Amino acid sequence: MLLNSFIFLLVFIIICSFNLYVATLLLIIMGLLNTGHDQTNQQKDIGTALKNGKEILFQGFNWESHKYNWWENLESKVGEIAKAGFTSVWLPPPTHSFSPQGYTPQNLYSLNTNYGSEHHLKALLAKMKQHKLRSMADIVINHRVGTTQGRGGIYNRFDGIPLSWDEHAVTSDTGGLGNRKTGAIFQGFPNIDHTQDFVRKDIIGWLRWLRHNVGFEDFRFDFAKGFSAKYVKEYIEAAKPLFCVGEYWDSCNYRGSSLDYNQDSHRQRIINWIDGTGQLSAAFDFTTKGILQEAVKGEFWRLRDGQGKPPGVMGWWPSRSVTFVDNHDTGSTQVLLESQAHWPFPSDHIMEGYAYILTHPGIPTVFYDHLFEWGNSIRNQIAKLIDVRKREGIESRSSVRILEAKQNLYSAIIGDKVCMKIGSASWCPSASHTQWELATSGHNYAVWRKQ
């Protein structure tokens, strides 16, 4: 600021002296300085957390959270979440939705939802910022619920609310007058046509508002396989979140009801999506989840691929792999009438799952239910694993040397500082070359660190 003020003063003096040539030269220099400053800021903003590699995410809700004054509930827990060592908290969709969970958006500029009022949301975000926790907005832009019936008697117009689009904003294969989908169709709702310039312009304006006015710092893209990854790239470049992750949830490879050992084509599809975003976004590692939840049943040989590496996205591109055990869709809540448990991790092996993802490369995610609803023992065990990860400097790009991967045992050394095992078989690291001390342990898992 002082440098710019000084240059402006010089320009003024020179202009007054009628030396327009020198004045123009100084203005060009100042423009170059500002351009460099802007480029530095952009590099600092977009993907900062991906480069850091030290991220530990917390999913701060489940499928039923909308029932419980959620923004106020989470605000009361911010201190605990920060103390546990998390860096970013994934929040449910923050704007008005036709359904209470937030995944059928309608008025994108209303922050009054079933999770709480705009006032309570902003109070939560402010408290998170005080505790140096980043907030992640759940971005649902694959589909939108209309307010007015349009072509074909379908609610595919959005009259009377901000972003009052007509049928041209809806893809032709979901009842609109737009172009065909550039990805998978989300059935039962008007799917947004991202090929339309006016749609992308409006979405960018909204994302910038969430980022710079509301105060969200990170984005999670819902149903990311529903529209081309190139649009995600455009949105990230325009809104400049610090961290992004996409939900590219594709079915793993099965033979009947049996999971195939080789899931290379599955993880490749996720990696192709990441590439399509210009490598600006990470993605949830559904490959690792699918393999891990089968492995803990006594098939730990699944955790080493044909090249001796971890078999998920983690094994090929760990800095873009966001690992998790369960989330609001795959295994949320235990209430049968409203359970969203579409693909649950075996409940009696949860800690083996966390012992794996919290000691391995990638960007691990902890689910709200496991930290706050499964009792103090599970919470304390997760907290100890996070502490080991942070103390021993395990990052998203840390190396992995798999020692054992057989029926009832998996063991590995991560980053040359941590050794771990999961499974019912008895095992401990050899002391012939390195002295190890037990850092933490529980049912069917143990973690050691170098002395």
Catalytic residue annotation: 222, 247
Tell me which H or E stretch contains 402: strand 400-406
Closest to 166 in 3D by CA, of 147, 185, 181: 147
Measured in degrees and rounded to the nearest 5, phi and psi for residue 136 equal: -110, 120
The DSSP 8-state label assigned to residue 367 in this structure reads E
| Whole-number Å distance between alpha carbons of 98 and 82 | 32
Residue 284 burial class via C-beta count within 10 angstroms: exposed 0-12, middle 13-18, buried 19 and up: buried
- 337 vs 47: CA distance, rounded Å: 40
- Taking alpha carbons only, the member of 227, 140, 143 closest to residue 186 is 143
Distances (CA, A) of 117 to 5, 96, 129, 367, 375: 43, 10, 19, 24, 29
The amino acid sitting at 347 is S
CB 423, CB 409: distance < 8 Å: yes
Of the CA atoms within 13 Å of residue 134, those in its CB half-sphere come to 19
Alpha helices in 254-295 (DSSP H): 264-276, 286-295
Under DSSP, the state recorded for 319 is G
CA dist 5 and 295 (Å) reads 63
- Token output for 108: 């994108």
Label the pairing between strands 254-255 and 88-90.
unpaired
Say how many CA atoms lie within 13 Å of 107 toward its Cβ: 11
Q: Can you tell me whether residue 365 is helix, strand or coil?
A: strand
- Cα three-residue angle 345-338-296, rounded to 5 degrees: 5
Antiparallel, parallel or unpaired: β 218-221 and 243-246: parallel
DSSP assignments along 181-246, one per residue: -SS---TTSPBB-TTSHHHHHHHHHHHHIIIIII---EEEETTGGGS-HHHHHHHHHHH--SEEEE
